[in-house]
Amino acid sequence: MIKHILLLAKRDFLQRGRSKGFLVMVGLSVIAILAVGPIIQTFDDGEVAIAIGLTGSMPADLEPAIRGVAAASERLIEIETVEDVAAGEDLLQEGDLAVLIVDGDQLVWADEPRGDAGSVVRPAIAAVQRQAAIDELGLSAAEAQGLLAPEPPEERRLEPEDPERTGRIVAGYISIFVLYIAILVFGQFVMLGVTEEKSSRVIEVVLSKVKPESILAGKIIGIGLLGLVQVLAMVGAVLVAVQMLGSDFEIPPIGLQVALTSILWFVLGYGFYSTMYAGLGATITRQEDMQGAAMLPAILILPAYFIALISLETPDSTLARISSLIPPTSPIVMPMRNAVTDVPVVENLAAVGIILATVVVLVKIAARIYRGAALRIGAKVPIREAWRAATR
């Protein structure tokens, strides 16, 4: 039986791996990812200076304050003294100014206030006004500092701050998205392969020599390996693209453990869903019927995607923990939890054991449906009818 499974897996891997469709899909995916860097660099004109206009009676220390805020926030600015308000408004309308400051305390915008300009001029004006109030009250530097910046309260944490939290959140989101897409896409490839063999009558020859369980297992393994190849190719392209973008873009340090966990759960999740796709694919002959047959796995995996997203900030909540233990949600939720937090080994082992046991049961169910429907050509075979036909 194992020999048959490996032979069938090799056949599917080589047959589909050499197909123009697969090669084009992998090639286009890699090219699209690699093209991101040059496209960004082509259209990136660098930072554009914020044009700030000054008119009217200005405090002497306003312009230095604006330049100080801009330097502290690493903003590039250009300050222009305008003859009067009317001239400044004309420059605003023409787009030559981002904001006009009148008499040191009034901001004039062309339409909606710009956040980048506002983040520079508002703090600068506030600082000048505070200093004027301090001078008027005759406060010393120490008194002003105590009034404006009182001693902060003492703080302590029950749990130490995780310096890698942001990177973990990013890694969790990436794992959710990649696993969701990969499982759906390559699960449907399995359905397509079953449907093609059924419509071409190849399945009649194969079934005369091999058990349905071996056919399903071989097809799932062969196409799954192709899926893993494409995922690894895309990850490699992402790494190259990031290097092409230079030091402005960094990959968060998610660690080898997170990467290996994600690969493991791709294999487990793919095995779970592709088994369903294979059984359902045996009930149809025409590729036009695939969309309807593929609805059940898609409906099951969609809640897993949303639960994983809403659990990114609370990976140890009751919803996240339960969803990470049981199929059909565990293939998406558990790798997310492993990326974001430290999941107990017992929970990981339990989740893996449960999904493996479920896959074994699903293979037997799908094989029975396969046996009862694979040789039926024509209209779609109802699952109940295929189940009953397998006992005859």
Q: Quick check: is 236 in a domain?
A: yes
Residue 39 inside a domain? The answer is no
139 & 176 share domain: no
* Count of structural domains, the chain: 2
Instruction: Express each pLDDT in 27-78 by its tens digit.
Output: 887 888 777 667 666 655 556 788 999 998 888 888 899 998 888 888 889 9
Q: Give which of 237, 241, 265 is closest to 330, Cα–Cα.
A: 265
pLDDT at 175 over 90: no
In this structure, the answer to whether residues 73 and 126 fall within a common structural domain is yes
Evaluate whether residue 132 is within a structural domain: yes
Q: Where do we find the tokens 């300009």?
A: 117
* pLDDT of res. 161: 65
Looking at the structure, tell me whether residues 173 and 282 fall in a common domain: yes
Pair 187, 268: CB distance under 8 Å: no
CATH number at residue 65: 3.40.190
Is residue 14 included in any domain, yes or no?
no
pLDDT of residue 390: 62
> pTM for this structure?
0.65
pLDDT band at 351, cuts 50/70/90?
very high
If asked whether residues 131 and 187 sit together in one domain, one would say no
Asked if 109 and 168 sit in the same domain, the reply is: no
pLDDT at 373: 74
Q: Are residues 129 and 167 in the same domain?
A: no
Highest mean pLDDT among 171-185, 234-248, 268-282, 343-357: 343-357
Q: What is the pLDDT of residue 215?
A: 77
**373 in a domain, yes or no?**
yes
Q: What is the Cα–Cα distance from 121 to 392, expressed in whole angstroms?
A: 82
Rounded to whole angstroms, how far apart are CA atoms 310 and 332? 12
**Tens digits of per-residue pLDDT, 115-162?**
888 889 998 888 888 888 888 777 777 777 766 666 777 776 666 666
Residue 80 has pLDDT above 80, yes or no: yes
- CB-count burial class (<10 Å; 0-12, 13-18, 19+) for 52: buried
Question: Hey, which bits of the chain come out as E strands?
Answer: 50-55, 77-81, 99-102, 106-108
Whether residues 103 and 212 share a domain: the answer is no
Gyration radius (Cα) of the chain, Å: 31
- Mean local confidence (pLDDT), 186-207: 75
DSSP result, 185-229:
HHHHHHHHHHHHHHHTTHHHHHHTTS-HHHHHHHHHHHHHHHHHH
Q: Which one has a higher pLDDT value, 83 or 257? A: 83
Domain range for residue 73?
50-147
Predicted pLDDT at 296: 83
Q: Could you tell me what percent of the chain has a pLDDT over 70?
A: 80
Per-residue pLDDT tens over the stretch 1-28: 677 788 878 887 887 788 787 788 788 8
- 15, part of any domain: no
Cα–Cα distance for residue pair 174/308, rounded to 1 Å: 11
pLDDT score at 159: 65
* 85 lies in the same domain as 59: yes
Asked whether residue 57 falls in the same domain as residue 111, the answer is yes
Domain end call among 88, 121, 147:
147
pLDDT at 321: 93
In a domain, 58, yes or no: yes
Confirm whether 22 is domain-assigned. Answer: no
| pLDDT for residue 324 | 93
- Give the residue from 147, 182, 204 where a domain finishes: 147
Residues 141 and 168 in one domain: no
Question: Over the stretch 217-266, which tens digit does the pLDDT of each residue have?
Answer: 888 888 888 878 877 787 777 667 766 665 455 555 555 667 778 788 88
Q: Is the pLDDT confidence value at 108 over 60? A: yes
Is the pLDDT at 286 greater than 80, yes or no?
A: no
207 and 278 fall within a common domain: yes
Judged against a pLDDT cut of 80, whether residue 392 lies above it is answered with no
Number of H helices, E strands in the chain: 16, 4
Q: How far apart are CA 76 and CA 99, in angstroms?
A: 14
**Crossing angle of helices 212-245 and 165-199, rounded to 10°:** 140
Mean pLDDT over all residues of the chain? Answer: 80
**Size (the chain), residues:** 392
Distance between CA atoms of residues 17 and 245, nearest Å: 31
Query: What is the number of other CB atoms lying within 10 angstroms of the CB of residue 105?
Result: 14
| Res 294: pLDDT | 78
Whether residues 98 and 168 fall in one domain: no
* pLDDT score, position 27: 84
